[in-house]
Amino acid sequence: MTIETPISSQPASDQTMPSQPAPNQTVQRVRVGLIGLAAVVLLIGLASAIFSAASREKPVAAVDAPKPEALANMTLANSDVPVTAPNEPLAELGVAPATANSAMPAAPGR
pLDDT in tens, 78-89: 555 555 655 788
Confidence of residue 103 (pLDDT cuts 50, 70, 90): low
- H-helix or E-strand containing 52? helix 23-56
Cα gap 110→108, rounded to integer Å: 7
10 or 59, higher pLDDT = 59
Amino acid 32: pLDDT: 97
Cα gap 107→105, rounded to integer Å: 6
Structural domain boundaries in the chain: 24-56
What digits encode the pLDDT tens for the residues 5-54?
666 555 555 556 667 778 899 999 999 999 999 999 999 999 999 999 88
Q: How far is CA 55 from the centre of its chain?
A: 19
97 or 17, higher pLDDT = 97
Which letter does DSSP use for residue 109 in this model? P
